[in-house]
Chain A
């Protein structure tokens, strides 16, 4: 029953997206308008795919093994939560979920632009339908999750053990899809603007909010993925330059570049063609990333054996690439620059350098990720490009970006004066020196780590002082009290201050990344009952090993007592999980988190009678700040894109400090243009 509901929903959606794409393109090309049919089709498809996804969830939860996908990933012993989230635990389900998110985005675009009736939106709707069409073709073809299985098996193997070992699996993938798939919307807008020839600042304004939203989801997804890797994979790290990590990171890099360079276009009418290129690249990189992770050409946690689906993705990439280039070349007139660079020391230059660095960064990651494929295809050798390559290449770029992060906010548009620059860089400069001295005094000797801490301090103060400047200007001009002035300054220009807040989050995370990778210490020891080892400030004593049977797995844990300065401070239990359907145990490291450092214990091996265990202990400073930094970035995104425009006249009497940003008072200022998507 669920099988029929789901599959017929996909078939109808397939037909509707085809009709919708054709109708939208015809209406936009012939009449320069949107097509009511295409708009309705977007709503209906959103509903149909929601139903199809729900049908699959029902099938998973009720263990309906007649559905091929359930027979592949389901199991009667899997706990409810992991049954539900195995929706995205393997290829077919993940494509179904992707299509669900995509059609939901398309419906949201149509809804927010319901008062616009121009060719740009018309074409954009058509592009969204066309992209949906591709994923729906996958769903009826090589990635059909609703196949019929006869005879119906009694039980299934259950999801990949790695994917049912931590609740973050309920968080990371949906966020990733929201971010990844969300990049389709700016692509659709870019194509719409190119095709309609209306590449005025309007398109980037409409696109910006969608991009920042998707970027926020993608950022959160990457951080959640790092966290998952840290909590589940049991190697004490969170980033390994794994192809899959790179796949999520590359669109993030280009999207970050776009978010910055779009401001140059808005302010100065420059970089139009470049911005369109960034949006197209971001979309292509999401599809490329999906190809890499879903076609099985690279091996990792995320690679599901894919069969022929790789060819579908390659063809799709080729079509998108050729179509984009042809359209881009045909519309080069519309991409002419209106403004010009006036001074080297200006915000524009900072953004240009930012874009150069992000582009080189993307290219580096792309090269390192694809090189093994190229080498195998051309030279027939199996190679891997390890973390040393990426670290060696990207660390200098990271340093330059950190420095720029501090200089950028200090530079005004168009040009600056030496006095102003001095005034704005005084405090950050002092912070740079202070961070350097403190890090050195605390025993840091690694050159990159020292430079990293110094630039982080520099940029942190450079961004934070902007809040001070904004508030002080209001206090002087309007005589407001400090807290009021701060809140109103932020409310009056949420995009700008949200951006600074995201910068602060990135810097907090950066400090965590530098400290945890440069000053990590680890020790591995084999201990008998009652024996202990010492690492950093901690003494870890092995007490005993226990076993516990759960429906879907068998857990072995080692009880250890943690002491500091002779006093017991905690007891921990690193575990190994043995899943019924896999011979490979999955570790669950025990992590003791404090603001200063994490103590991370991994059960490496155990004697079956519990007499001896081998435990690896890692002390990593500042790890928790990476996750906190991620949350701050998100907060910045929420401040920047929260609905509510700057058009309302200043709402006198609104309480400062009210929790919802849009309820705070704001005074119209030249920079207060918070454009709406719909008008």
Chain B
């Protein structure tokens, strides 16, 4: 339903109707073209690689597990490299910026970024995948253990 103005002469009505239709069509076109440009697909490494060159250089959310023993983190240059896998395919990832505190081998991650033709996924955001369900901390992650190490480390 649209704002209903008062009855007018016929011609005015028709003009208003056409103008309204044009405006609506314009808005609709803008909206959907805007959607087309800005949709971010959520893909696994297998799905991303299956897209071939079509998967290059467009915003993607890549989900998978951090491949064990693949993480290279240079804290001073804040340069992070690792591989992400879904069990079938593997993709090299590069990111600048510290990984999240819980980032480690084997953990599920969601990466926002673009897959470059050189075969490296340039990630702007690295998120550790967390479900809304509570996950009890695994061995080595328990707050008490962290606390002990921190205290032994001589911090304060």
B-binding residues in A (CB < 8 A): 157, 160, 261, 270-271, 273-274, 277, 296, 299, 303-305, 335, 337, 339-341, 352, 355-356, 360, 363-364, 367-368, 371, 375, 381-386, 388-389, 392-393, 524-526, 544-547, 549, 553-554, 556, 576, 578-585, 604-612, 614, 616
Give B74's nearest chain A residue, CB to CB.
A526
Complex Cα distance A353/B132, Å? 42
Residues of the A chain whose Cβ atoms lie less than 8 Å from the Cβ of B136: 581, 583
Complex Cα distance A612/B76, Å? 10
Inter-subunit contact B6/A368 (CB<8 Å): no
* Residues of B27-42 whose CB lies within 8 A of A: 27, 30-31, 34-35, 37-42
Complex Cα distance A352/B6, Å? 13
Classify the secondary structure of A's interface with B: mixed
**Known interface pairs A368-B35, A584-B102; A274-B4 also in contact (CB < 8 Å):** yes
Give A576's nearest chain B residue, CB to CB.
B101
Residues of the B chain whose Cβ atoms lie less than 8 Å from the Cβ of A608: 146, 149-150, 153
CB distance from B20 to the nearest CB of A (A): 9
Complex Cα distance A360/B31, Å? 10
- Contact partner of A583 (CB less than 8 A), chosen from B8, B42, B102, B152, is B102
Residues of the B chain whose Cβ atoms lie less than 8 Å from the Cβ of A525: 78
CB distance from A283 to the nearest CB of B (A): 15
Inter-subunit contact B98/A337 (CB<8 Å): no
**Known interface pairs A337-B5, A585-B102; A545-B35 also in contact (CB < 8 Å):** no
- Looking at B64-72, B85-93, B113-121, B137-145, the stretch in contact with chain A turns out to be B137-145
Complex Cα distance A340/B43, Å? 54
Residues of the A chain whose Cβ atoms lie less than 8 Å from the Cβ of B134: 157, 581-582
Inter-subunit contact B5/A341 (CB<8 Å): yes
Inter-subunit contact B132/A299 (CB<8 Å): yes
Inter-subunit contact A612/B149 (CB<8 Å): no
Complex Cα distance A247/B107, Å? 31
- Contact partner of A339 (CB less than 8 A), chosen from B6, B151, B152, B153, is B6
Residues of the A chain whose Cβ atoms lie less than 8 Å from the Cβ of B52: none
Closest 8 CB pairs of A and B: A340-B6, A609-B153, A610-B155, A389-B38, A382-B42, A554-B143, A614-B98, A604-B98
Q: Cβ of B97 < 8 Å from any Cβ of A?
A: yes
**Known interface pairs A337-B5, A368-B35, A385-B40; A584-B128 also in contact (CB < 8 Å):** yes
Inter-subunit contact B3/A274 (CB<8 Å): yes
CB distance from B149 to the nearest CB of A (A): 4
Inter-subunit contact B40/A384 (CB<8 Å): yes
Complex Cα distance A273/B5, Å? 10
Inter-subunit contact B132/A386 (CB<8 Å): no
Residues of the B chain whose Cβ atoms lie less than 8 Å from the Cβ of A371: 35, 39
Residues of the B chain whose Cβ atoms lie less than 8 Å from the Cβ of A556: 146, 150
Inter-subunit contact B135/A583 (CB<8 Å): yes
Inter-subunit contact A605/B99 (CB<8 Å): yes
Inter-subunit contact A271/B135 (CB<8 Å): no
CB distance from B107 to the nearest CB of A (A): 9
CB distance from A365 to the nearest CB of B (A): 11
Complex Cα distance A578/B61, Å? 27
Inter-subunit contact B155/A547 (CB<8 Å): yes
Complex Cα distance A553/B102, Å? 16
Bin the interface of chain B by size. 35 or more
Residues of the B chain whose Cβ atoms lie less than 8 Å from the Cβ of A360: 27
**Known interface pairs A554-B144, A585-B101; A270-B39 also in contact (CB < 8 Å):** no
CB distance from A478 to the nearest CB of B (A): 38
Inter-subunit contact B102/A277 (CB<8 Å): no
CB distance from B43 to the nearest CB of A (A): 8
Complex Cα distance A277/B2, Å? 9
Tell me which of A270, A526, A611 has the highest count of chain B C-beta atoms within 10 A of its own C-beta. A526
Complex Cα distance A271/B156, Å? 68
Complex Cα distance A388/B3, Å? 30
Give A276's nearest chain B residue, CB to CB.
B1
- Give 14 new A-B contacts, CB below 8 A, not counting A337-B6, A546-B156, A616-B97: A299-B132, A337-B7, A339-B6, A340-B6, A340-B7, A341-B6, A382-B43, A385-B35, A386-B59, A392-B34, A547-B151, A549-B147, A583-B136, A614-B98
CB distance from A398 to the nearest CB of B (A): 15
Complex Cα distance A546/B5, Å? 67
CB distance from A304 to the nearest CB of B (A): 7
Inter-subunit contact A305/B133 (CB<8 Å): yes
Give A338's nearest chain B residue, CB to CB.
B6
Residues of the A chain whose Cβ atoms lie less than 8 Å from the Cβ of B14: none
Inter-subunit contact A605/B5 (CB<8 Å): no
Residues of the A chain whose Cβ atoms lie less than 8 Å from the Cβ of B153: 607-611
Residues of the A chain whose Cβ atoms lie less than 8 Å from the Cβ of B59: 386
CB distance from A645 to the nearest CB of B (A): 30
Residues of the A chain whose Cβ atoms lie less than 8 Å from the Cβ of B101: 576, 585, 604-606
Complex Cα distance A100/B113, Å? 44
Inter-subunit contact A546/B31 (CB<8 Å): no
Provide a sorted-by-A list of 8 A–B residue pairs whose CB atoms are within 8 angstroms. Answer: A363-B27, A371-B35, A386-B38, A386-B40, A392-B37, A582-B135, A604-B97, A609-B150
Complex Cα distance A382/B62, Å? 11
Inter-subunit contact A526/B150 (CB<8 Å): no
Inter-subunit contact B6/A273 (CB<8 Å): no
Complex Cα distance A483/B43, Å? 64
**Known interface pairs A524-B98, A526-B98; A614-B78 also in contact (CB < 8 Å):** yes
- Contact partner of A274 (CB less than 8 A), chosen from B1, B34, B61, B97, is B1
Complex Cα distance A261/B108, Å? 50
Complex Cα distance A525/B75, Å? 8
Residues of the B chain whose Cβ atoms lie less than 8 Å from the Cβ of A611: 153
Complex Cα distance A270/B6, Å? 7
Residues of the B chain whose Cβ atoms lie less than 8 Å from the Cβ of A544: 155-156
Residues of the B chain whose Cβ atoms lie less than 8 Å from the Cβ of A341: 5-6
Complex Cα distance A363/B24, Å? 11
Residues of the B chain whose Cβ atoms lie less than 8 Å from the Cβ of A545: 150, 155-156
Residues of the B chain whose Cβ atoms lie less than 8 Å from the Cβ of A386: 38, 40, 59
- Contact partner of A612 (CB less than 8 A), chosen from B34, B43, B75, is B75
CB distance from B58 to the nearest CB of A (A): 12
Inter-subunit contact A383/B40 (CB<8 Å): yes
Complex Cα distance A271/B155, Å? 68
Residues of the B chain whose Cβ atoms lie less than 8 Å from the Cβ of A578: 143, 146
Give B43's nearest chain A residue, CB to CB.
A382
Residues of the B chain whose Cβ atoms lie less than 8 Å from the Cβ of A609: 149-150, 152-155
Inter-subunit contact A337/B4 (CB<8 Å): yes
Complex Cα distance A445/B31, Å? 27
Residues of the A chain whose Cβ atoms lie less than 8 Å from the Cβ of B27: 360, 363
Complex Cα distance A299/B5, Å? 42
Inter-subunit contact B42/A273 (CB<8 Å): no
Give B97's nearest chain A residue, CB to CB.
A524
Complex Cα distance A389/B101, Å? 30
